[in-house]
Structures are given as structure tokens and as C-alpha cells.
């Protein structure tokens, strides 16, 4: 499949699961997803009249958390390739954020225009991740911060086997029963082929970022990664 077709397939899949996405997320992560997003939002750099771009914004949960917890952020933009996800985000956010259908790989946004770029459980789904990371770097102001919240493949060991069992057996089963089986089979596959934390750090440095803090949740299966664009 060509990259453009792959992206359309992914957008179609998220269009199909959009209606039940929030409920299943809360159920499958035992509400931990909200806690992880709260930590991400608390890591946004302190700015007066801050501007943030949330990429792969989905149903808008990171942006709604920002509206509640970070009044210092006045300009909120969200982009996603799934129209159905964006429709749900628009219902939650009203006019408190500007939401646009756009791919992470090709942001039609001016360079050096955001204090922060966030992406939660989205980078794993992007076909050309290197291109997306370069785009995040381009749109960030010097000194701006990139925050990535994502599931990562785990090292070997008993916990890994436990999580593999959950991701590969339980999660597609529940997701398949309540939503779309194909989509919830895709989740463990996309985690398995994603960067390791070390490989992501390497890629971020190659893109020009300086690595910042990292925090792991659920024994390292989910991580929050901070990277900063140098201010010269």
C-alpha cells in the first residue's frame, strides 16, 4: 500500500471507531488515560498568552484538559485526519479551539508559531513519523516544547508478557465486541512496531530537538516524552 493510501485507511478506521472511542479508552485503560493527559498538560511550558498545537487531537481530550487547567494558554489549535473524531472534538470544545482536518506530516501552519506541540497516542499512527517530527520542529517557536504521550514496545520479561497478553488478547476482544475488531487488532501491532524509547530519543535529536524530561506509566508501557527546540 502506498503511504497516502495507508493514511486514508487509518483515517477510515478512526472514523469508524470515533463514536465509542472515549468510552472504550476509559474502559480499556481503567481511566488512566485521563490521568496521563493531565500530566502532559501540566508539563506545558509556562507562557503568557501561550499557543499550543495538539496533533492527532482525536475527540479533543487534551485540548479540553488545557482549557480547564491552563488558562495561560489562549490560542488552541487541534488537527486530525479523521473527520468523525474532529466532529466530536468540535462538540466538546465549541469555539475555544480551532480544529482543522490536517495530517501531521504536512502541517499547513506557519513556522515558529507555537509555544508547544502535543501529540497523545497519535505518533504511532502516523505513516511517516520522521516527516511529522520535522513538521513539529518547524512550527515550534525557538524554545518551544514538544510533548509526546505514547505506548511503547516493552523490554522482555514477565511484565512485558503480561502486557502483551492484555494488548494482544484482551484488548482486541473487548474492542471487537464493543466497537471495531480490525481497529482493536491494529492497536497492539502499531505498538509493537513503534520506536523504542531510545530510538525515539535518537530520532528527536537528529531532527534538532534537545531531550528533556521523561516519565513512564504502567511499568514503562506508556511514556511522556519532552523535547525542546533550541533557542539560539
Ligand X SMILES: C[S@@+](CC[C@H](N)C(=O)[O-])C[C@H]1O[C@@H](n2cnc3c(N)ncnc32)[C@H](O)[C@@H]1O
Contact string (CB under 6 A) for ligand X, positions 3-22, x = contact: ----x--xx--x--------
Question: Does residue 206 contact residue 47 with C-beta atoms inside 8 Å?
Answer: no
Closest distance to ligand X from the beta carbon of 197 (Å): 19
Query: In the bound complex, what is the minimum distance in angstroms from residue 158's beta carbon to ligand X?
Result: 27
Mode of pairing for the β-strands spanning 222-229 and 50-55: unpaired
Q: What are phi and psi of 85, to 5 degrees?
A: -65, -45
Question: Binding to ligand X by residue 221, rule CB under 6 A?
Answer: no
CA-to-CA separations, 118 to 1, 103, 146, 177, 195, in angstroms, rounded: 28, 14, 6, 31, 17
Q: How crowded is residue 139: how many other Cβ atoms within 10 Å of its Cβ?
A: 21
Give the number of residues in contact with ligand X, rule: CB under 6 A. 23
Q: How far is the CB of 159 from ligand X (least distance, A)?
A: 23
The Cα-based distances of 231 to 32, 55, 140 in angstroms read 34, 22, 11
Which SS3 state, helix, strand or coil, does residue 195 take?
coil
- Select 115 or 135, whichever has its Cβ closest to ligand X: 135
Q: Least distance (Å) from ligand X to the CB of residue 34?
A: 10
Which span sits near ligand X by CB under 6 A: 42-50, 122-130, 169-177, 210-218? 122-130
- Please list every residue from 187 through 206 that binds ligand X, using CB under 6 A: none
Contact segment (CB under 6 A) with ligand X among 58-66, 152-160, 162-170, 176-184 equals 58-66
CB of 230 to ligand X, least distance (A): 25
Amino acid at each position: 500500500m502506498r503511504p497516502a493510501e495507508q493514511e486514508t485507511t487509518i483515517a477510515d478506521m478512526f472514523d469508524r471507531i470515533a463514536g465509542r472511542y472515549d468510552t472504550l479508552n476509559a474502559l480499556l485503560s481503567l481511566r488512566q488515560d485521563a490521568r496521563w493527559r493531565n500530566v502532559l498538560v501540566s508539563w506545558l511550558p509556562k507562557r503568557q498568552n501561550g499557543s499550543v498545537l495538539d496533533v492527532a487531537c482525536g475527540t479533543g481530550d487534551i485540548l479540553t484538559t488545557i482549557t480547564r487547567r491552563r488558562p495561560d494558554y489562549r490560542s488552541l489549535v487541534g488537527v486530525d485526519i479523521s473527520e468523525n473524531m474532529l466532529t466530536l472534538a468540535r462538540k466538546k470544545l465549541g469555539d475555544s479551539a480551532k480544529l482543522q482536518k490536517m495530517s501531521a506530516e504536512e502541517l499547513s501552519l506557519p513556522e515558529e508559531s507555537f509555544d508547544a506541540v502535543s501529540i497523545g497516542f497519535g505518533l504511532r499512527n502516523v505513516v511517516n513519523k520522521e516527516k511529522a517530527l520535522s513538521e513539529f520542529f518547524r512550527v515550534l517557536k525557538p524554545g518551544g516544547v514538544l510533548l509526546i504521550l505514547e505506548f511503547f514496545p516493552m523490554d522482555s520479561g514477565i511484565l512485558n508478557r503480561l502486557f502483551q497478553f492484555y494488548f494482544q488478547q484482551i484488548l482486541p476482544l473487548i474492542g471487537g465486541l464493543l466497537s471495531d475488531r480490525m481497529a482493536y487488532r491494529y492497536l497492539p501491532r502499531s505498538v509493537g512496531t513503534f520506536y523504542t524509547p531510545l530510538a525515539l530519543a535518537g530520532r528527536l535529536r537528529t531532527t534538532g530537538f534537545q531531550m528533556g524530561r521523561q516519565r513512564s506509566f504502567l511499568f514503562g508501557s506508556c511514556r511522556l516524552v519532552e523535547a525542546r527546540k533550541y533557542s539560539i
